[in-house]
């Protein structure tokens, strides 16, 4: 078994896939910034934003169910914003009494919580479409194009290249551990000794993972040297931006700016 | 398989002003770290850092059962700091956090600056401070490596969690009197798992390749500054957190004063009068209009895509037919 299923990229020929990665990256970031700027409780704008991102998902032909499934990943964090429902000052929406306690839900708090939840859900969908419709090497070139430091982009590229190799390594280690430590019948049951013992075994696995990573990086370095590496990572540049690309970028940004103005007017 | 760690803040949870400020801070610090690494290390650094970042990412999939369904796993700031020294560790952790956000949507893009600040900068500075302090106190005896590793890992998780909680509170997303004790409490436990794994990893490395453990020490130029930064972060957060959680209004006041909350609240001005039709507010009308426009947009796109798909499908059938005829 390989962990290539970790790679979120899904090849395709849709309009979204064919869009220049630089334009796609900038527009995605602008969309997420816009989503963050919309004040809480301006529901019409949230509906428009949701409609936009769902339309893009349909255009990208990735499958709505795929994007939705992945977007649930950010869900557990909602818990962090949940208490705001009860603590934010504002008119009371509803109150419950449990034994001698009275818990009251404030209108402002509820509005803020739903806004936060919607914002994070809309933003995460935009990020998913970007990652799923753009091959990572193209994304790296786009990052260079928006002037991120060369070294960090090079490290991200190397990290990406060996991520799956090392993740496979981890899978093999996990399988070996499972094979060595008998599984009890109860699914939740403990395997092996105490918690500390289990943690130390896992630590040993992490240690040997780092050791193998170090040794692998030596071999990679030698391979790079023998292919003429001189401290500079070179890649075939993306083709120049044509008029259509600029048009898409400018129209997209104007459209997003218009929504922002609308959200401030409402 | 790949479980998101609760330290990664998604988009929408931090105010835009705070996100922006932390982006600038993180960008400046990471740029400085890049400069230092460029100066200190040879060109060999690139593969080592890239592959180690991949190993830390993959290492987060190594987990062990604690009780029932919960499991402990690695963040990696402490082990990266011990193995590579602080400057390179900042860059490695930044890469890990960036890939998690970009590819796996574990943490948002607008708040990536904040996540880098919490995990890569605070995590590494705290780890470095704790580890080197323990090393000095124990006079570089071998057990000092393990105790230092455990404590560095535990503190890095806890302090990063406190910073996260304070950022949420400043953004008005989560009340400080709940967020700080909750985040702190959970991560004080998670930190034990991190500490034990880090200690186990150091144990194996010490037994097999003690030379690797010395590498990080050699690269501690500018260590004093780093040590001081770590100390300041630990002290500041250790004092600020209980204070903030005891006086949530105080933090709210700070937030209000600095315009963090006002930026995320309320319309700037009202142009459309409140009531257009009797009983129907402009807000309700706008919501209905927005729903209609949104539905039209989605269905329009849906129609276009299905239509163009059908057309290409029909074309390929035609072509297949034509081929058959030729044969």
Give the pLDDT confidence score for residue B151 in this predicted structure: 93
pTM for this prediction: 0.84
Asked if A127 lies within 8 A of B105 by C-beta distance, the reply is yes
Query: ipTM score here?
Result: 0.86
* Chain A, chain B: beta-carbon pairs less than 8 Å apart: 333
Range from B33-42, B67-76, B86-95, B236-245 that averages highest in pLDDT = B86-95
Chain B residues within 8 A of A170 when measuring between CB atoms: 58-59, 61-62
What local confidence, expressed as pLDDT, does residue B71 receive?
55
pLDDT confidence band for B288 (50 / 70 / 90) = confident
Would you state the pLDDT for residue B90?
A: 93
How confident is the model at residue B273, as a pLDDT? 40
3-class SS of residue B291: helix
Average pLDDT over residues B132-145: 84
Do residue B196 and residue A214 have CB atoms under 8 angstroms apart?
no
B277 secondary structure, DSSP code: E
pLDDT band at B278 (very low <50, low <70, confident <90, very high): very low
pLDDT score at B130: 92
Over residues B215-262, the pLDDT tens digits come to: 555 545 567 777 888 888 887 777 777 766 666 555 555 555 544 444
Contact flag A211-B19 (C-beta cutoff 8 Å): no
> Which range is least confidently modeled, A62-76, A240-254, B301-315?
B301-315
Nearest CB among B58, B196, B302 relative to A163 is that of B58
B236 touches chain A (CB under 8 A): no
Mutate which of A45, A52, A151, A229 to disrupt the B interface (most B C-beta within 10 Å)?
A151
* Cβ neighbour number for residue B45 with a 10 Å cutoff: 21
Which residues on adjacent β-strands are paired with residue A106?
Answer: A92
Confidence (pLDDT) at B185: 82
Question: What local confidence, expressed as pLDDT, does residue B193 receive?
Answer: 82
β-bridge partners, B281: B275
> Cβ distance B109 to A29 under 8 Å?
yes
Q: Do B294 and A48 touch (CB under 8 A)?
A: yes
Q: Which of these ranges, A243-247, B46-50, B58-62, B111-115, has the smallest mean pLDDT?
A: B58-62
Query: Closest residue of A to B46, CA-based?
Result: A155
Which one of B16, B271, B297 has the shortest CB-CB distance to A37? B16
User: What is the mean pLDDT of the segment spanning A61-71?
Assistant: 88
Confidence (pLDDT) at A49: 94
- Identify the closest residue of chain A to B61 by CA–CA distance: A170
* Cα end-to-end span (Å), chain A: 53
Which of A174, A203, A264 has the CB atom closest to B268's CB atom?
A: A264
Average pLDDT over residues A212-239: 85
Any chain A CB within 8 A of the CB of B248?
yes
Task: For B6-71, give the DSSP string.
Answer: TT-PPTTSS-HHHHHHHHHHHHHHHHHHHHHHHHHS-TTHHHHHHHHHHHHHHHTT--EE-STT-E
pLDDT of residue A84: 79
B43 neighbors A64 (Cβ within 8 angstroms) = no
Confidence band (pLDDT; 50, 70, 90) for B66? low
Q: Give me the residue from B12, B74, B293 closest to A206, CB to CB.
A: B74
- pLDDT at residue A98 tops 80: no
A127, A149, A211: residue with CB nearest B34: A149
**Which of A45, A199, A218 lies at the smallest CB-CB distance from B72?**
A199
Q: Does A199 sit within 8 Å of B173, measured CB to CB? A: no
Region of poorest pLDDT, from A13-27, A205-219, B50-64 = B50-64
Mean pLDDT of chain B: 78
Q: Which residues in chain B belong to E strands, given as ranges?
A: 64-65, 71-72, 275-277, 280-281
Q: How confident is the model at residue B269 (pLDDT cuts 50, 70, 90)?
A: very low
Q: Measured in whole angstroms, how far is the alpha carbon of residue A173 from the centre of its chain?
A: 26
Q: Where are the domains of chain B?
A: 16-263, 275-326
Q: Is the pLDDT confidence value at A100 over 60?
A: yes
Give the whole-angstrom CA distance, residue B101 versus residue B144: 35
| Contact across the interface for B62 and A206, Cβ inside 8 Å | yes
Q: For residue B267, what pLDDT band results from cuts at 50, 70 and 90?
A: very low
Q: In this predicted model, which residue has the larger pLDDT, B159 or B258?
A: B159
Nearest CA in chain B to A195: B66
Model confidence at A28, pLDDT cuts 50, 70, 90, reads: very high
> To the nearest whole angstrom, how far is the Cα of B48 from the nearest Cα of chain A?
5
B 137-176 → A contacts, CB under 8 A? 168, 172-175
What separation in angstroms does the CA of A137 have from each of A158, A161, B188, B248? 10, 10, 38, 45
Instruction: Tell me whether residues B31 and A149 touch, CB distance under 8 A.
Output: yes
Question: CA dist B90 to A151, A182, B9, B49, B147, Å?
Answer: 13, 39, 19, 10, 22
Q: Does B41 touch chain A (CB under 8 A)?
A: no
What pLDDT score does B42 carry?
65
Mean pLDDT of A126-148: 91
pLDDT of A126 over the 60 cut: yes
**In this complex, do B103 and A169 lie within 8 Å of one another by their Cβ atoms?**
no
Residues in a beta bridge with B71:
B65
Strand ranges (E), A86-217: 92-98, 101-106
Predicted local confidence at residue B217, as pLDDT: 57
Pairwise CB contact (< 8 Å): B10 & A205? no
B11, B67, B95 ranked by CB distance to A155: nearest: B95
pLDDT, residue B6, reads 62
pLDDT of residue A180: 80
| Confidence (pLDDT) at B84 | 87
Whether residue B94 has pLDDT greater than 90: yes
Q: Which CATH number fits domain B16-263: 1.10.1760.20, 3.20.20.190, 1.10.10.10, 3.40.50.720?
A: 1.10.1760.20
- Say which residue, B25 or B171, is predicted with more confidence: B25
Kindly report the nearest CA distance between residue B49 and chain A, in angstroms: 7
Q: What is the pLDDT of residues A144-192, one digit of tens each?
A: 888 888 888 989 999 998 988 998 899 898 888 888 876 555 555 555 6
Summarised one tens digit per residue, pLDDT across range B172-202 is 888 887 888 888 888 888 888 888 889 989 9
Asked if B132 has any chain A CB less than 8 Å from its own CB, the reply is: no
Q: How many C-beta atoms surround the C-beta of residue B28 within 10 A?
A: 10
Q: Is the pLDDT of residue A194 over 70?
A: yes
Q: How confident is the model at residue B67 (pLDDT cuts 50, 70, 90)?
A: low
Contacts of residue A125 in chain B, CB cutoff 8 Å?
none
Q: Rounded CA gap, A109 and A40, in Å?
A: 10
Q: Give yes or no for residue A213 having a pLDDT over 70.
A: yes
Q: For residue B47, list chain A residues with Cβ-Cβ distance below 8 A.
A: 158, 217-218, 220-221, 224
pLDDT at residue A121, rounded to an integer = 92
B41: nearest CA partner in chain A: A231
- The confidence score (pLDDT) of residue B265 equals 41
């Amino acid at each position: 078994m390989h962990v290539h299923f970790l790679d979120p990229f899904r090849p395709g020929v849709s309009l979204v896939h064919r869009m220049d990665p630089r334009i796609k990256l900038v527009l995605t970031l602008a969309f997420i910034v816009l989503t963050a700027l919309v004040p809480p409780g301006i529901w019409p704008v949230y509906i428009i934003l949701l409609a936009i991102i769902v339309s893009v998902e349909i255009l990208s032909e990735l499958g709505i169910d795929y994007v939705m499934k992945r977007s649930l990943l950010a869900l557990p964090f909602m818990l962090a914003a949940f208490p705001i429902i009860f603590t934010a000052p504002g008119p009371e929406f509803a109150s419950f009494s449990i034994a001698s306690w009275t818990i009251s839900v404030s209108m402002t708090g509820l509005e803020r919580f739903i806004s936060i939840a919607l914002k994070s859900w809309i933003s995460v969908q935009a990020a998913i479409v970007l990652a799923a419709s753009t091959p990572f090497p193209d994304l790296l070139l786009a990052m260079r194009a928006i002037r991120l430091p060369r070294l960090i982009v090079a490290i991200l590229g190397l990290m990406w290249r060996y991520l799956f190799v090392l993740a496979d390594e981890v899978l093999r280690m996990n399988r070996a551990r499972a094979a060595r430590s008998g599984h009890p019948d109860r699914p939740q049951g403990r395997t092996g000794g105490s918690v500390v013992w289990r943690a130390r075994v896992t630590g040993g696995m992490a240690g040997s993972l780092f050791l193998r990573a170090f040794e692998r990086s030596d071999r990679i370095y030698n391979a790079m040297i023998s292919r003429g590496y001189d401290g500079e990572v070179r890649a075939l540049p993306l083709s120049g931006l044509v008029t259509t690309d600029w048009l898409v970028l400018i129209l997209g940004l104007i459209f997003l700016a218009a929504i922002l103005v609308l959200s401030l007017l409402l | 398989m790949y479980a998101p760690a609760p330290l990664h803040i998604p988009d929408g949870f931090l105010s835009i002003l705070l996100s922006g400020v932390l982006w600038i801070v993180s960008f400046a610090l990471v740029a400085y770290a890049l400069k230092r690494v460029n100066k200190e290390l040879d060109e060999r650094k690139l593969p080592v850092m890239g592959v180690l970042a991949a190993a830390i990412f993959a290492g987060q999939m190594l987990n062990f059962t604690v009780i029932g369904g919960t499991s402990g796993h690695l963040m990696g700031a402490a082990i990266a700091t011990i193995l590579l020294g602080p400057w390179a560790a900042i860059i490695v952790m930044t890469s890990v956090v960036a890939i998690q956000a970009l590819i796996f949507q574990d943490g948002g893009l607008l708040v990536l600056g904040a996540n880098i600040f919490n995990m890569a900068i605070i995590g590494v500075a705290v780890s470095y401070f704790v580890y080197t302090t323990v090393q000095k106190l124990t006079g570089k005896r071998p057990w000092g490596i393990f105790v230092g590793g455990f404590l560095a890992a535990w503190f890095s998780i806890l302090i990063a969690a406190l910073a996260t909680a304070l950022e949420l509170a400043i953004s008005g997303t989560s009340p400080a009197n709940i967020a700080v004790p909750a985040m702190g409490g959970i991560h004080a436990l998670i930190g034990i798992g991190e500490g034990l794994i880090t200690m186990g990893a150091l144990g194996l490395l010490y037994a097999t390749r003690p030379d690797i453990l010395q590498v990080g020490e050699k690269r501690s130029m500018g260590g004093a500054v780093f040590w001081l930064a770590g100390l300041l972060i630990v002290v500041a957060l250790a004092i600020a957190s209980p204070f903030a959680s005891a006086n949530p209004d105080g933090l709210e006041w700070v937030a209000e004063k600095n315009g963090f909350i006002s930026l995320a609240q309320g319309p700037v001005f009202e142009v459309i009068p409140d009531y257009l039709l009797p009983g129907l507010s402009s807000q309700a009308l706008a919501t209905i209009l927005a729903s209609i426009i949104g539905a039209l947009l989605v269905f329009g796109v849906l129609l276009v895509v299905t239509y163009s798909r059908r057309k290409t499908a029909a074309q390929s059938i035609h072509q297949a037919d034509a081929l058959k005829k030729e044969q």
